[in-house]
Amino acid sequence: MILYLGTSSLVKLYVEEKYSDVVRDWVEKAEIVATCRVTYTEIISALELRIKQNDLSKSDYELIMKRFAQDWLNLAIIDFDEREAGSLVKKYGLTRFAAIHLSAAKLIKKEHHDISVSFSSVDESLRKAALTEGLKTLNF
């Protein structure tokens, strides 16, 4: 199984949040863990926000970033189709990054139609759109 993690799910591997244990379990069961190339920037942004909100110390940030940078090398990094992402924004009312993630996951499914692709995001509207687009979704 290929597990596609949106940023909201991937960050749970590095910061203890509700459902972090669930995401870790899914990752352990997956043959391949994939995400879109924009996730790198999104993770840094999410961690920087936590520092500004005093939810994360600088030292913890440094440790997390070191681990994330190492893990990044083992993820399947997927591109996206910008035209399709634009149409997904209009079709489902998704945010720009949600549409980018859905477009990336759909590219995996298109290229590997013989392998099960499971999609994970905390965003319920994104999960519903992914389901409508024919992806198997993992719900929290």
Beta bridge partners of 118: 3, 136
Per residue in 23-43, pLDDT (tens digit) is 999 999 999 999 999 999 999
Banded pLDDT at 140 (limits 50, 70, 90): confident
Q: Which two tokens stand for residue 126?
A: 């994104």
Q: Which domain holds residue 105?
A: 2-138
For position 39, which CATH number holds? 3.40.50.1010
Of the candidates 46, 112, 44, 101, which has an alpha carbon nearest to the alpha carbon of residue 78?
101
Answer whether residue 12 shows pLDDT above 80: yes
CB 47 within 8 A of CB 62: no
Torsion sign over Cα 33, 99, 50, 140? negative
Alpha helices in the chain (DSSP H): 7-10, 20-29, 39-52, 58-72, 82-92, 96-111, 124-132
Domain count, the chain: 1
Structure pTM?
0.93
